[in-house]
A and B are shown apart, each in its own frame.
Chain A
């Protein structure tokens, strides 16, 4: 039933609105992703200037080997942050799933069965996060700080103080050999394939549209029939599964696992997502931005390492990146708020 409401031809009158939602001027002129491309070029120039072999294929393999698992975890997190939530338990999930896989393998399970079990653990852990955040409505930052500690604690009970080794060499060689005929690591290849899938989901499907709507205005999304709770729950499960996948790859790459595998990596993952231009308030961001951020962080870390910069100093760089990527996109809003506060201050109402 499509009732004909008007008979008059439409007249399109240009309507100029007030402003475009408090974005700074430069943001309208330059897309965040474009800026990232320039940053990447700058990092590459910086790296090459310090080290002649920086753009070399072997170096590229090491970068992709370093970044693969972090990058895989960043993809589901991108979707979660797009809905306005967060998952800080990703690295602990990586550790727990690797631990479960190692311990079952050690107990005589086939390595494939152990991997499947690790993925199941990931799904269960994600479901726990999803239950607490989506169904019970608890703040995700608190919930996932809790499960960050919980998952790591479980890993310690399962494995500590052992370190499991002896995985089949046919599998562990992914830590030494690139994908045949290329210069990239297996984990990085998996990431690239996943990135395409996540990109399509976020930018061209009903689910992706719903995720954006949830992030921008959850109530309006609910009033449009978007199943907000179910989508959030699902995203946490997906996050759990892909963190488990990262845990498996991480274990095979190192051909060993201990309970503290990947400790602290969650901050790198969050930093990448935010540097990629995903708004911490939800609703804004692109997968291509996150992919660029992965490459930038990977190259930067490699350059710093080759220059012999201490890991502690690299942490400072990661932290600063995190701050800058939250600060810059929101600078317009911040300036507006500060101005408003000033105005409110000394002048009495009316």
Chain B
């Protein structure tokens, strides 16, 4: 903070709103960036940060709101316009041309030329070195981009932004894939950029990084601007409170149940580089939620339990029987069902009929000698369509013709038809309208009341708090908290999810 924050703001975004169909992604996106500041943008999953970034990047055009860059109101019609206005975006995973050199990547499309329109490599490499010197990093401009670490790739992107005379750098979770040494270097680069009068908008889930490297912080929640404050006036606690401080929306139908015997036991489960040393159990008649930020490794844990991905070490036992590594069919035989995160790719065969999709996980049970009796298939499907109150035209209609909520019911029916003892359900209500959401919650509650064990992964805190008997919080591939229904609240979950579990509340 040895560098004073300038008076005239570089960029002002006011009350930007953006909707996609019926979904309001952003209702009030507001942020003001001054020259020479690193400004943090914080918020939960779905708070509208990415939409705001994409508006600044020119990828999305806001439905309403005002954007002023350098004192003049602008409309960014596309990424090129955004770049021309002096805004550069550094993404978490930069996309460089792997076969080109570092310098070629920096000057792509505007390489210095010699006579005869030939590229002047010497001048280009010299210019690249000059940019790196400004940034205070050492990187060989003549090496291939292939094999650069993510951190170095980000540096190349930043160099590219500098060479374009970018005044505003937006870094979208740049540190998520970096080691601590690399994070330090990135902070050094950020400081250099600030000293040269640029503004950095820094997006991160790691609150400690924000406290260490930014001058001001803006918090968003549910698509709305909440507050902007100088870093001296906030604490990790106050930030977390602002991020989650909202009312529990809908009431959740949660019947009190008495958990029975253990169904799932996960012991020291590890998948190298993804998650580590995960141990927990789920009993009959309880819903255990896996909470955490996107990318914390929740879905990956579910995939490893079900056998889609192989585990590096650890054991998974279902009803006392140890599951073979990497064998979904074995997990299914043991009574496990997985309703995956991505309905369209993983949950359903979109071009197959409702009946065939429901039957797909029960093929072996629909007849003898591997032959399928069409009658039993149709009966199975209509039984579950009835139970789950599926709204459809005809059984043989392709599931791609159904609404998201009804598609989710087909996936549920497909798995419930097997009568599983453990249901793993990843984002049970993502992309589902409010009415069907409540229906899915009622279905889950009914299943648990009847003695099923449910492991639920959800990014929606109200859903986690409303449905779960116990909450496991993952942060960067490790369980950072196990909370009972009584202990769990938005504060405690967010604190553990951002790696602040140790901080006393």
Q: Which residues of A contact B (CB under 8 A)?
A: 1-6, 8, 10-18, 20-21, 200, 204-207, 209-210, 212-213, 216-217, 219-227, 283, 348-350
Give the size of the chain B interface in residues (CB under 8 angstroms): 56
Cβ contacts B356-370/A at 8 Å (1 or 0 each)? 100111011010001
B391 CB-CB contact with A under 8 Å: yes
With A1-B452, A6-B387 as given contacts, are A220 and B348 in contact (CB-CB < 8 Å)?
yes
B393 CB-CB contact with A under 8 Å: yes
Which residue on A lies nearest to B444, using beta carbons?
A5
Could you tell me the distance between the alpha carbons of A224 and B338 in the complex, rounded to whole angstroms? 8
B388 CB-CB contact with A under 8 Å: yes
With A209-B359, A220-B346, A221-B349 as given contacts, are A15 and B328 in contact (CB-CB < 8 Å)?
no
B308 near A222 (CB under 8 angstroms)?
Answer: yes
Could you tell me the distance between the alpha carbons of A212 and B372 in the complex, rounded to whole angstroms? 14
Tell me which residues across on chain A come within 8 A of B350, comparing CB atoms. 21, 216-217
B386 near A10 (CB under 8 angstroms)?
Answer: yes
Q: Which of B89-97, B141-149, B401-409, B462-470 contacts A (4 or more CB under 8 A)?
A: B401-409
Could you tell me the distance between the alpha carbons of A222 and B331 in the complex, rounded to whole angstroms? 12
A17 near B351 (CB under 8 angstroms)?
Answer: no
Could you tell me the distance between the alpha carbons of A12 and B360 in the complex, rounded to whole angstroms? 23
Q: Which residues of B contact A (CB under 8 A)?
A: 61, 77-78, 306, 308, 328-329, 331-332, 338, 340, 345-352, 356, 359-361, 363-364, 366, 370-372, 385-389, 391-393, 397-398, 400-403, 406, 414, 416, 419, 421, 442-443, 446-447, 449-452
Query: Which of A1, A15, A17, A226 is close to B450, meaning CB atoms less than 8 Å apart?
Result: A1
A2 near B419 (CB under 8 angstroms)?
Answer: yes
- Report the minimum CB–CB distance from A4 to chain B (whole Å): 7
A1 near B372 (CB under 8 angstroms)?
Answer: no
A206 near B372 (CB under 8 angstroms)?
Answer: yes
B329 near A227 (CB under 8 angstroms)?
Answer: yes
A216 near B388 (CB under 8 angstroms)?
Answer: no
With A6-B389, A205-B371 as given contacts, are A283 and B452 in contact (CB-CB < 8 Å)?
no
B387 near A1 (CB under 8 angstroms)?
Answer: no
B361 near A224 (CB under 8 angstroms)?
Answer: yes
A220 near B345 (CB under 8 angstroms)?
Answer: yes
Tell me which residues across on chain A come within 8 A of B78, comparing CB atoms. 348-350
Which residue on A lies nearest to B397, using beta carbons?
A17
Query: Which of B328, B398, B402, B446 is close to A5, meaning CB atoms less than 8 Å apart?
Result: B446
Tell me which residues across on chain A come within 8 A of B363, comparing CB atoms. 206, 209-210
Query: Which of A200, A213, A225 is close to B332, meaning CB atoms less than 8 Å apart?
Result: A225
> Can you name 17 A-B residue pairings with CB atoms under 8 Å?
A1-B421, A1-B451, A3-B452, A5-B447, A6-B389, A15-B403, A17-B401, A21-B351, A206-B364, A206-B366, A206-B370, A206-B372, A209-B363, A210-B363, A213-B352, A220-B348, A223-B308
B401 near A20 (CB under 8 angstroms)?
Answer: yes
A15 near B402 (CB under 8 angstroms)?
Answer: yes
Could you tell me the distance between the alpha carbons of A204 and B78 in the complex, rounded to whole angstroms? 52
Could you tell me the distance between the alpha carbons of A206 and B360 in the complex, rounded to whole angstroms? 8
Could you tell me the distance between the alpha carbons of A224 and B336 in the complex, rounded to whole angstroms? 11
Query: Which of B331, B398, B416, B446 is close to A21, meaning CB atoms less than 8 Å apart?
Result: B398
With A17-B397, A224-B361, A225-B329 as given contacts, are A216 and B387 in contact (CB-CB < 8 Å)?
no
A15 near B393 (CB under 8 angstroms)?
Answer: yes
Query: Which of A17, A206, A220 is close to B400, meaning CB atoms less than 8 Å apart?
Result: A17
Tell me which residues across on chain B come within 8 A of A8, comparing CB atoms. 389
Minimum-distance CB pairs A-B, first 10: A17-B401, A3-B450, A206-B363, A10-B386, A223-B346, A225-B329, A205-B370, A217-B349, A13-B391, A225-B332
Could you tell me the distance between the alpha carbons of A223 and B329 in the complex, rounded to whole angstroms? 9
- Report the minimum CB–CB distance from A136 to chain B (whole Å): 16
A216 near B352 (CB under 8 angstroms)?
Answer: yes
B398 near A220 (CB under 8 angstroms)?
Answer: no
- Report the minimum CB–CB distance from A98 to chain B (whole Å): 33
A216 near B361 (CB under 8 angstroms)?
Answer: no
- Report the minimum CB–CB distance from B302 to chain A (whole Å): 11
Residue of B372, B419, B449 contacting most chain A CB atoms (<10 Å):
B372
Could you tell me the distance between the alpha carbons of A207 and B387 in the complex, rounded to whole angstroms? 28
- Report the minimum CB–CB distance from A22 to chain B (whole Å): 10
Could you tell me the distance between the alpha carbons of A20 and B398 in the complex, rounded to whole angstroms? 8
B387 near A223 (CB under 8 angstroms)?
Answer: no
Tell me which residues across on chain B come within 8 A of A225, comparing CB atoms. 328-329, 331-332, 361
Tell me which residues across on chain B come within 8 A of A210, comparing CB atoms. 363
Tell me which residues across on chain B come within 8 A of A222, comparing CB atoms. 308, 328
Could you tell me the distance between the alpha carbons of A348 and B79 in the complex, rounded to whole angstroms? 11
Tell me which residues across on chain B come within 8 A of A221, comparing CB atoms. 349, 360
- Report the minimum CB–CB distance from B389 to chain A (whole Å): 6
Tell me which residues across on chain A come within 8 A of B372, comparing CB atoms. 204-206, 209
Query: Which of A5, A13, A20 is close to B387, meaning CB atoms less than 8 Å apart?
Result: A5
Query: Which of B61, B388, B421 is close to A6, meaning CB atoms less than 8 Å apart?
Result: B388
B401 near A224 (CB under 8 angstroms)?
Answer: no
Could you tell me the distance between the alpha carbons of A120 and B214 in the complex, rounded to whole angstroms? 70
B387 near A349 (CB under 8 angstroms)?
Answer: no
B77 near A209 (CB under 8 angstroms)?
Answer: no
Tell me which residues across on chain A come within 8 A of B400, comparing CB atoms. 17, 21
Query: Which of B77, B388, B406 is close to A15, meaning CB atoms less than 8 Å apart?
Result: B406
Could you tell me the distance between the alpha carbons of A8 and B346 in the complex, rounded to whole angstroms? 30
A212 near B328 (CB under 8 angstroms)?
Answer: no
Tell me which residues across on chain A come within 8 A of B443, comparing CB atoms. 5
Tell me which residues across on chain A come within 8 A of B338, comparing CB atoms. 223
Given contacts A17-B402, A223-B338, A283-B351, 18 further A-B contacts (CB under 8 A): A1-B452, A2-B419, A5-B443, A14-B393, A15-B392, A15-B403, A20-B401, A204-B371, A213-B352, A213-B360, A219-B345, A220-B348, A220-B360, A223-B308, A223-B340, A223-B346, A227-B329, A348-B78
A216 near B308 (CB under 8 angstroms)?
Answer: no
Tell me which residues across on chain B come within 8 A of A226, comparing CB atoms. 360
Could you tell me the distance between the alpha carbons of A224 and B348 in the complex, rounded to whole angstroms? 9
Which residue on A lies nearest to B393, using beta carbons?
A14
Tell me which residues across on chain B come within 8 A of A21, comparing CB atoms. 350-351, 398, 400
Tell me which residues across on chain B come within 8 A of A224, comparing CB atoms. 328, 360-361, 414
Which residue on A lies nearest to B446, using beta carbons?
A5
- Report the minimum CB–CB distance from B37 to chain A (whole Å): 30
Which residue on B lies nearest to A349, using beta carbons?
B78
